Structure 1
Amino acid sequence: MGDKVDDLPRLDKAQRDVVMLGIATAAIILFVGIGGTVMPQVARHWLDSSATPPDTALVNALLLNIALIIFGWRRYVDLRKEIEQRREAEEQARHLSQIDPLTGCLNRRCATEKMMNALAAIGDTQYAAGFVMIDLDGFKEINDTNGHQAGDEVLLEVSRRLKSMTPPGGDCARLGGDEFAFIMPLVKDDPDSLELWACEMTGNIARPIDTEVGSLEVTISVGIAVHRPEEPIENLETAARKLMRRADLAMYQAKKEGRNRFCWFDLSMEAEARIRREMETAIRAGLERGEFTPHYEQQIDLETGQLVGFEMLARWHSAELGEVSPDIFIPIAENCGLIGPLSEMLIRRALIDAQSWSPSLTLSINISPVQLRDPWLPQKLLKLLLGSDFPPHRLDVEISEACLQENLAAVQTMIVSLKNLGVRVSLDDFGTGFSTLTQLRTLPFDRVKIDKSFVGELRRVAQASPELMHNREQQDHIVNTLVSLGQGLQIPITAEGIEDASILETLRGMGEMKGQGYLYGKPEDAAAVVKRLSELDLLAENAVATGAQPAPDPDHRKSA
């Protein structure tokens, strides 16, 4: 609508110019006609004063014609200048509409058009069209830690390096944020040269970048998709977007495989993406229908064998898909932004369930790394605690060790905020995330949980081969080291993955700790937990009737 309004003054001006052109043309015709009559009379009268003077009306008409011709000519010159200026402005606007203002690369819109042109040029030739998607690894952390000015410097240097590696006939584009791309013609029977170029590119970008805050390092994940001449094209724009989407899938596969690498598109990636979309839809529907439920795994004091608490675990029985493993639906929920609502719903139900338990029992919940980035997480957790009237000191928030590698300062702030609520905070998956001794001393964890991948190997193997015995001794040594480290820092220990009596026997010889695993039973729903606690006389109503008091906090740090 705005373009149409802007065009109205131009249309009126053009109409006036047409009228002026008509007037000027008529003036020239009249000048020729009148001039042929008046000019001889003027000449005769100028040479002979006694001659009859020219007709005054005709002389005035001639002068008016001359004025109109001069005015028309000047207007024509001005119009030519205006048209030229307008053409230059439109050309500049067109150029700016295709260029990313920060890096000077093509923008997303122009990249799509270039991709369409590349596909249209394939024909039956020996060439193919390729799209290379590039994403900077960890760029958000660079921005958050060093500021957006340093982030812009990194983007400028990365774009300069990428443009310097643009193949002949190719184009470099910035699609937005920290995403770049190449549109390039390829020889369809020569994939090796493209792989060599991709290896060189990833190595070139990985070199340190000098910024105002010092030297920074960034790597890239690269996805490559190729459209070959034998593949039919019904619509150029559809084909271009499809190729770009395939390169995007390959890029995310490169990230999953460890980053700082390239990956070719494979049809299985498209099938996986379709399944993920279907799963995301099913998760949304499952949340609305209340299909997700909390289950509870027992936590046992290994020294006394007494039940001391439960860990809440998410379970999903889908109406369409049946039982879905948490290993499947939790990563998808994290990627599509549903982990927050899902976790809050489960925590709310778990806090209500735990109200019927004895005050001596604790409840452990897992917090996703995605949730840990939410600055409002402590406030949300406080709202859940107040809404369920659940004592904060009975709640244990478990944070994965991998979170410490993302942003230690932010994690430390979050842990302090959570502890200010009165809840306990545990380090989950201890031993898998390469946390340092300094981190463990700095962060105020109340407990560490040794990952089940280490604990599960502590089996007593009768008449085992020397090789198996050697492996077992290694696992014993690893777990013993982790336990000793926790004890040295005066942090209580929980061992996950206790599946048989031999593991339990080994762990008991390593010192005081809690334990959990299938040896004590699989995770149970709320009704089964109530039945178990009733048999153990560990329900809240029983505790009130007998006047039992809440057990002292077993996770306090012991003095040296």
Structure 2
Amino acid sequence: MIATELGTAFRSDEALLLDAALETMPYGFCVWSPDFRLVMWNRNYCSLYGFPPDRITLGMPLDAVVRLSIELGNHPGLSAEAFLTAYKKELLDNRGGARAKSQERASGGRVIETGHVFAPGLGWVVTHEDVTEEIATSELVQRRKRELERQNMRLDAAVNNISQGLSMFDAMGRLVISNQPFQRIYELPETLLAPGTTFDAIMAYLFAQGMNPGTAPDAYLRWRRTMIANGEFGKTVHEFRNRTIMVQHHPTRDGGWVTTHEDITEQRQQEARIRHLARHDALTELPNRIQFLEEMAAIEPLIERGEKAAVLCVDLDHFKLINDTLGHAVGDALLKQASARLWGTTRENDVLARIGGDEFTLLIRPIERPSDAAAVADRIVKAMAMPFSIEGNLVSIGASVGIALAPDDGSDADTLMKNADLALYKAKSEGRSTFHFFEPGMDAAIQKRRTIETGLRTALEDKSFRLAFQPLFGLRENRITGFEALLRWHHPERGEISPGEFIPAAEETGLIVPIGDWVLREACKVAAGWPGRQRVAVNLSPVQFKNPQLYETVQQALADSGLSPSRLELEITESLLLIDNDSNARTLHRLRALGVRVSMDDFGTGYSSLSYLRSFPFDRIKIDRSFMRDLESRPDSRAIIRAVIGLGRSLGMQVTAEGVETREQLDAMREDGMTEIQGFLISAAVPPEAIAGLLARDPLASAR
């Protein structure tokens, strides 16, 4: 069968080599697949049985060929069914690799001798020879058989290894045949591909061209010659011109051998990549948890012998907010930049790993004293405090770090990572963007925090939250002009829990969204029943802006309560503006267009910047209580307050001072032109039922 008839079964160069071998054979040849379909044949096969070339096709089933053969007068005295049954049984009984022979009668009284051998993965390789004349001559028959066996040996080797580079040598070490992949892999000159070229000549050329078998050339050649002498199978891998080649040595029955050569460079690279990915984070290319734990396990014997080390757990502050509001693409880019910064804070022998989400771990070894670990942690906190530029967004996050020291805080990986994680939890609970060493007893603190998180869910289901309202006093009006709604929670076991303790937990768990929705609805409902036109101020967490239905939630709360939008003031903090997010800006503008007021709370803390006041036309600025607390001890506090009042006046924004507790502070604020004050001087937060009484009296009477 010619190469074009093989279709895609073989490559063109292989087909040419095979065609040449098939068409020069002095006998008929064919191959039957394991499911009895014709795989290949030559012209002599068709001639012996009188098959018209156009009647024999690739994939033709055996039964169809048998019926055609009977039709042409072959196998006289037998039906197609009888011959087919006997022939299939003969083939199926010979699958052990041995060569079986039989004779059959063809048209014209001719005798055809067939020989077949089963080749795994290919099928039965069958030869057909007209031995009509040779039967009478025993010597001629024997000679033809020997020639047939030698041809079969060469054919078997070519068929079974044709898909790779192939070279065949005789018992004297002379090249018998090779294929084009063999030449291509080693870029061999034509002079070394001629039959009769010695094995030694080819190997000398390969070594001269840089072949590296991983051992000395003499040692490699001794190994090959030992295999040849012993008739053994062998396999080896060597490097040749930056490629990795696998060579398999197959002895033949006549004392020669066949070698197959396969370029496995890409396979090895892929295997190396798979091994790398199994132990590294695909996004940042940092070691992952598996690799980190292996590194930790490796130093445990060193710790037991007295070496000091430190494990740091690092968590990116506010990453979840960034990821949810700006999208995962920005989140991924942020993680890459953050990983590079973290790596830049480490020492040469330190191991930095990403163990999931925005969590990283760092193994520092060796260290001499705790301050070595503290220095690294401090570098991490400072490095992560600098803003990131991500796809046109200026993003600020920060990092919290927990530190566990070995051997003081543990000598095995599990204990050290657990204690570093507890220290991280402590750092986050203390305000984030800091580091903390592990201390005994932290387990109890963590359990306390988890109790709060569980209690928040229960309180939300049981509706056990309540609101208190602290008055806002207008200095021009000399009366209460509004109230700030403050959330209160009485825990059934722990009693009153400070908002500073449970609000961060609610934000981290995402419960602040449904809790905030309840606060908004409840505050609007209460304010709608006040006797005057006082406004109600409600705090919004940055986490609530992740809710795409925030605008609709505000709109529905106003509709359900009947409260005028102008009486609702929403307070946001600067942390929301750290994210230059179009979606947040659109939501704020939609809320203001609804008639709702928007104020900036706690101005003067964190990353306070005048650019924030330009990013959105706020109705009010609320100066953080810390300035009022330092009013008498720090002259610059009052100077800053005056500057903010002037700034607010210039921008058309009202200004509220938080934390006013003394008459002197009140007088100072009046003198400086403050719009409004809030603090214990006027009143602490009161329950809804006390508001009417508070409005009916002069809240400054007791302060005079």
TM range (shorter): 0.5 to 0.7
Partner of 2:355: 175
After TM superposition, list the pairs within 5 Å mapping 1:51-130 onto structure 2.
88=268, 92-119=273-300, 121-122=301-302, 124-128=304-308, 130=310
Query: In the TM superposition, what is the alpha-carbon distance from 1:426 to its structure 2 partner?
Result: 1.6
1:224 aligns with 2:403: yes
Of the three residues 19, 23, 30, the one matched with 2:96 is 23
> 1:137 and 1:372 mapped to 2: Cα distance?
17
For the 8 Å contact 1:166–1:182, the answer to whether it is kept is: no
2:688 is equivalent to residue 507 of structure 1: no
**Do 1:425 and 1:447's aligned partners in 2 also have CA atoms closer than 8 Å?**
yes
3-state DSSP class of the match of 2:416?
Answer: helix
What is the CA–CA distance in structure 1 between the aligned matches of 2:606 and 2:337, rounded to whole Å?
33
- CA spacing shift, 1:250–1:406, aligned 2, 3 Å: farther
| Cα distance, 1:99–1:333 mapped onto 2, change above 3 Å | same
The reply to whether residue 267 of structure 1 matches residue 267 of structure 2 is: no
Displacement of 1:481: 3.6
Q: Distance in 2 between matches of 1:457 and 1:229?
A: 41
Contact residue 303 and residue 411 of structure 2 kept, 8 A: no
TM-score normalized with structure 2 length = 0.55
C-alpha distance 185-69 of structure 1, shift in aligned 2 (>3 A)? farther
Counterpart amino acid of 1:162? W
The one-letter code matched in structure 2 to 1:265 is F
Where does residue 419 of structure 1 map in the other structure?
Answer: 592
- How far does residue 390 in structure 1 lie from its aligned partner after superposition? 2.2
Residues in 1 aligned to 2:519 and 2:396: alpha-carbon distance in whole angstroms:
40
Q: Give the residue type in structure 1 aligned to 2:675.
A: M
Shift in CA distance, 246/446, structure 1 to aligned 2, threshold 3 Å: same
Quote the Cα distance in structure 1 between the aligned partners of 2:427 and 2:519: 33
Deviation at 1:231, TM superposition (A): 4.7
8 Å contact kept, 2:310–2:373: no
| More helix as a share of residues | 1
Distance verdict in 2 for CA 1:212–1:453, change over 3 Å: closer
After TM superposition, give the deviation of residue 483 of structure 1 in Å: 2.8
Of 498, 501, 510, the residue aligned with 2:660 is: 498
Structure 2 CA distance for partners of 1:227 and 1:20, relative to 1, 3 Å: farther
Q: Which residue of 2 aligns with 1:247?
A: 420
- The secondary structure found in structure 2 opposite 1:224 is strand
Instruction: Specify the code of the residue in structure 2 equivalent to 1:490.
Output: G
| 331-340 or 191-200, which deviates more | 191-200
User: In the alignment, is the contact (CA less than 8 A) between 2:402 and 2:421 conserved in 1?
Assistant: yes
Matches within 5 A, 1:335-414: 335-358=508-531, 360-372=533-545, 374-407=547-580, 412-414=585-587
CA offsets per residue over residues 226-252 of structure 1, 9 Å max, x none? 34289576xxxxx53x43343344446
Question: Take 1:528 and 1:110, find their aligned partners in 2: how far apart are those partners?
Answer: 61
Rounded Cα–Cα distance in structure 2 between residues aligned with 1:334 and 1:153? 21
Find the partner of 2:470 among 289, 293, 297: 297
User: More relative contact order in 1 or in 2 (CA 8 Å, sep 6+)?
Assistant: 1
Q: 1:543 is matched with which residue?
A: none
Q: Distance in 1 between matches of 2:685 and 2:511?
A: 23
Letter in 2 for 1:415: L
Distance in 2 between residues matched to 1:20 and 1:109, nearest whole Å: 53
Q: Distance in 1 between matches of 2:297 and 2:93?
A: 45
Give the Cα separation in 1 of the matches to 2:387 and 2:581.
Answer: 22
CA shift in 2, pair 1:68/1:282, >3 Å: farther
Structure 2 distance, partners of 1:275, 1:66, is 82
Letter paired with 2:685: P
Cα deviation, 1:91-129, whole Å, max 9, x if unaligned, reads: 65333322233443322333234434444x347422355
Q: For residues 478-525 of structure 1, what are the alpha-carbon distances to aligned partners after superposition, in whole Å with 9 as ceiling and x for unaligned?
A: 434433332333322333333344433333333363333223332222
Q: How much has 1:412 moved relative to structure 2?
A: 4.4
What SS does the corresponding residue of 2:681 show, helix, strand or coil?
Answer: helix
Cross-structure match for 1:286: 459
Q: Is the 8 A contact 1:250 1:266 kept in 2?
A: yes
**SS in structure 2 at match of 1:520:** coil
Based on CA coordinates, which of the two structures has the bigger radius of gyration? 2
**1:142–1:151 contact (8 Å) kept in structure 2:** no
Gaps of 5+ in 1: 1-18, 29-48, 234-238, 459-467, 537-560
Shift of 1:314: 0.6
Match of residue 690, structure 2, among 528, 531, 534: 528
Equivalent residue number for residue 628 of structure 2: 455
TM-score, normalisation: structure 1: 0.67
Stretches of structure 2 that go unaligned for 5 or more consecutive residues are 1-91, 101-134, 162-232, 234-247, 251-259, 698-704
Q: Residues of 2 paired with 1:500 and 1:422: CA distance?
A: 34
Letter in 2 for 1:526: P
Query: Using the alignment, how far apart are the partners of 1:475 and 1:210 within structure 2?
Result: 33
- Give the match for residue 487 of structure 2: 314
Alpha-carbon spacing, 1:99–1:78, altered in 2? closer, same or farther (3 Å) = farther
Residues 190 and 403 (structure 1 numbering): CA distance in 2 closer, same or farther, change over 3 Å? Answer: same
Cα separation, 1, equivalents of 2:149 and 2:400: 77
Whose strand fraction is larger, Structure 1's or Structure 2's?
2
Distance across 1 between alignment mates of 2:500 and 2:509:
15
Residue type of the alignment partner of 1:281: T
Identity between Structure 1 and Structure 2 (%): 32
